[in-house]
Amino acid sequence: MLLRYHLRSLKGYRHAASSQLRASTDSQNNNFSEKNTEEKYKPSESYISLSTLQRGILSIGSAIAALLDPTRADMVAILGETTGTKALLGMHERMSIHPEGSEILRSQPRINSSTVDLDKLRSMKEGTLGREYANWLDRNGVSPDTRLPVQFVEDPELAYVMQRYREAHDLIHTVLGMPTNMLGEVAVKWVEGIQTGLPMCVGGGIFGAARLRPKQRQKYLSIYLPWAIRVGQNSKFLMNIYYEKRWMQNLEELRRELSIEHPPPS
């Protein structure tokens, strides 16, 4: 009963996130020069304080819900926030001692349609990060405005790290050359899990693989999993990249800079 009560209380969370998405979409300006490209992160006004018991209940409930239905972005988000404090501290430390990462922490930029001119990215030269990111969004039918706001991380600095992780996720997909199918998602989760230590990512890599079809599982075990482990261990920390300042950089050049092994064929 207590678990159902807390999960029902999160309906407002989903509604608020949907309202925020609609407002963001309605208010976006097509003139790039008028976009707020320096928009900074603001801790959510709807932050919800949790007791230890409540945090445990939400962690278990969201884990079960996300396992049963990995498309439940709200449950995946809650799981990440309620179990990720230790990992977020480590991520923040790694960013704070890196020149580019520390600049991200100071500026706290956002990645959404209000801060990124997608039409301009689409007009960039083929092979640049900006053009490939826009192509990836279009090809997979994804919008940068779909990332839910952080609700259950009390420390504003750590809340921003979690928000940055969410908003950079599609860029990480692009840099890794992975699609949004289950095989691609599991591979990305392994890379993210190894680099960030977020339990949500580690769990996604382990349990997501169980949902692969037999042919996908064979390809996963022989090609994708070894590749993801090598990339996670050997590449530079992907959260330290100020992607918005690298739109014009050639993607293959960026991969070489980050020591990312060329992605396997999809």
CA distances from 21 to 10, 145, 149, 171 (A): 17, 6, 10, 19
List residues bridging with 172 in a β-sheet: none
3-state helix, strand, coil in the chain (%, to 5): 65, 0, 30
AA identity, residue 74: D
38-66 burial, b if ≥16 CB within 10 A, otherwise e? Answer: eeebebbeeeeebeeebbebbbebbbebb
Which amino acid, one-letter code, is at 26?
D
Q: Is 185 annotated as a binding residue?
A: yes
Round to whole Å and give the CA distance between 217 and 240. Answer: 31
Q: Flag whether 173 is marked binding.
A: yes
Say whether 170 counts as a known binding-site residue.
yes
Alpha carbons 82 and 60: distance in angstroms, whole number? 10
Binding-site residues for Zn(2+) sit at 169-170, 173, 185
Binding-site residues sit at 169-170, 173, 185
